[in-house]
Amino acid sequence: MTLVDVRISEPKRYIPGATGDWEVIIGMEVHAQVTSQSKLFSGSSTVFGNAPNSNVSLVDAAMPGMLPVINEECVRQAVRTGLGLKAQINNRSIFDRKNYFYPDLPQGYQISQFKDPIVGEGKIVISVGPDRQGQFEDVEIGIERLHLEQDAGKSMHDQHPSMSYVDLNRSGVALMEIVSKPDLRSSDEAKAYLTKLRTILRYLGTCDGNMDEGSMRADVNVSVRRPGEDFGTRCEIKNVNSIRFVGQAIEYEARRQIGILEDGGTIDQETRLFDPGKGETRSMRSKEDAHDYRYFPDPDLLPLEFDQAFVDALKADLPELPDDKKERFVAELGLSVYDASVLVSEKAIADYFEAVAAGRDGKIAANWVINDLLGALNKAGKAFEETPVSPAQLGGIIDLIKDGTISGKIAKDLFEIIWNDGGNPAELVETRGLKQVTDTGAIEKAVDDIIAANPDQVAKVQAKPSLAGWFVGQVMKSTGGKANPQAVQALVKVKLGLED
């Protein structure tokens, strides 16, 4: 792989050092567990959290004479992902063996793809920001390749004083290794890349992206250089398992490397581990200790070949991806780019929004979902999936505003009632007497009462008509917010003789 610098060095991303500015260069290798019922080369279940060694077949345990058989669904998932990354799909790819000894690797080799991966070059557009001016910047990050490989099992070293235990449930589960080009230039970009990649995978349904369960892990390659110079020596930080840690690891590692270089030292190419407790990276093994994996084509598996029709069929069934959805929200529903970005950031949110917006005003629906629903969820510390308000309920609230049954203010109360207690919006309006008062007689009486009780204010307003809002507020208060605000405003003006 030849490394090509496709980015322009920009001072806003420079890291100031004691001897001048530095630039950080980042490339990512993301291991994403393929969403599939069974493993890459065996029929064992992939369910997370089962009893140790319960999802293990003869193939997974590498019994003598066992042979791998490719799981076609995993191939489809890899192709779908490749299409989602706008990548080259290779109709012929080859599985290789990566040889090394470890107790959680029963075969003594991992079946992976080395020279001929199933997916070639692609790209992801990330949005970074906002900056100090509130601007977002779209950056295209190159994808080098995606290949399929087996996961290893799990070694547990803390269960016995002198022995290690091995759980082979993960052994042989399909992973997609998605390798970016060294196109990332800050920890924020790296985090945005991981977030966007996860969003795409979740939209596609090819990986659940649950980093805490290990279904997505990142190896982060970090190097630093003086702006405009060639790439420096990189260190690889292995198996970082949260987006936040990726950011911390990069920040730490860039600082560490800058410190060494500014002291006149050189960077050793090595593999490092991130310690989330200490917030630092530490050396795992040097280049000299690197394994010689002795890759060679797996003779148990024929080259993986499929025709264009196979790819085309998957392409035709591909769901709408976040970038396309965002464009559509902006173009067809008139949303702002920012609002559209927020809504498409998670497929669940976008689906929810679309359900609310169906047959209603998109902008109003977007405001409710973003400001009210997401705001409330955020405040309550709930995940989006835990929302107590369904799209039908939220849609019902919006409908009640639109047909004038309730005011915007009452709608907020209604939302809170439904959030806490549930229920049908229209019925709640009836049973709790939240209906907007449009009867001008009742409103007129309320206006008259307020005017009669506040002669001083009347004088003030007549001198300065812009203060009429005070009366509107008082009337709304006295009617418990149920009065139609437009009607109140009109009446106040008439009664105070402010009409122009």
Q: By the criterion CB under 8 A, which residues form the site for another protein? A: 58, 61-70, 97, 99, 101, 103, 106-109, 164, 166, 292, 294-296, 299-302
Tokens, residue 57: 């077949």
- What sign results for the dihedral spanned by CA atoms 51, 54, 60, 65? positive
d(CA 424, CA 152): 50
- What sign results for the dihedral spanned by CA atoms 459, 461, 464, 467? positive
Q: C-beta of 1: minimal distance to another protein in Å?
A: 16
Backbone angles phi, psi at 337, to 5 degrees: -60, -40
Q: Which lies closer to another protein via its Cβ, residue 63 or residue 453?
A: 63
Question: What's the gap between Cα 146 and its chain centre?
Answer: 19
CB 137 within 8 A of CB 129: yes
- DSSP structural state of residue 151: P
Q: C-beta of 97: minimal distance to another protein in Å?
A: 5
Of the candidates 120, 106, 82, 116, the one whose C-alpha atom is nearest the C-alpha of residue 154 is 106
CB 121 within 8 A of CB 145: yes
CB 394 within 8 A of CB 369: yes
Q: C-beta of 293: minimal distance to another protein in Å?
A: 8
Q: Which lies closer to another protein via its Cβ, residue 277 or residue 299?
A: 299
Taking every pair of Cα atoms in the chain, the longest distance, rounded to a whole number of angstroms, is 99
Q: Which lies closer to another protein via its Cβ, residue 47 or residue 69?
A: 69
Q: Which lies closer to another protein via its Cβ, residue 109 or residue 193?
A: 109
Q: C-beta of 170: minimal distance to another protein in Å?
A: 16
Q: Which lies closer to another protein via its Cβ, residue 231 or residue 295?
A: 295
Q: Which lies closer to another protein via its Cβ, residue 157 or residue 278?
A: 157
Q: C-beta of 100: minimal distance to another protein in Å?
A: 9
CB 487 within 8 A of CB 479: no
Q: Which lies closer to another protein via its Cβ, residue 47 or residue 302?
A: 302
Other CB atoms within 10 A of residue 409 CB: 14
Q: Which lies closer to another protein via its Cβ, residue 62 or residue 458?
A: 62
Q: What DSSP string runs through 232-293?
A: ---EEEEEE-SHHHHHHHHHHHHHHHHHHHHTT--PPPEEEEEETTTTEEEEEEEGGG----
My answer on whether omega of the bond before 130 falls inside 30° of 0, hence cis, is yes
Q: Which lies closer to another protein via its Cβ, residue 95 or residue 252?
A: 95
Q: Which lies closer to another protein via its Cβ, residue 290 or residue 459?
A: 290
Which helix (H) or strand (E) segment holds residue 16: the answer is strand 15-17
Strands laid side by side in the 296-297 sheet? 109-112, 96-99, 296-297
Q: C-beta of 25: minimal distance to another protein in Å?
A: 25
Q: C-beta of 220: minimal distance to another protein in Å?
A: 24
Q: C-beta of 105: minimal distance to another protein in Å?
A: 9
Q: C-beta of 47: minimal distance to another protein in Å?
A: 22
d(CA 137, CA 190): 14
d(CA 79, CA 316): 12
Q: Which lies closer to another protein via its Cβ, residue 107 or residue 341?
A: 107
State in Å, rounded, how far the first CA of the chain is from the last one: 75
Q: C-beta of 81: minimal distance to another protein in Å?
A: 23
Other CB atoms within 10 A of residue 378 CB: 10
Q: Which lies closer to another protein via its Cβ, residue 151 or residue 346?
A: 151
- DSSP structural state of residue 141: E
Q: C-beta of 94: minimal distance to another protein in Å?
A: 12
Tokens, residue 72: 């076609």
Place of tokens 């997401």: 374
Q: Give, in degrees to the nearest 5, the angle at Cα 370 between 366 and 374.
A: 145
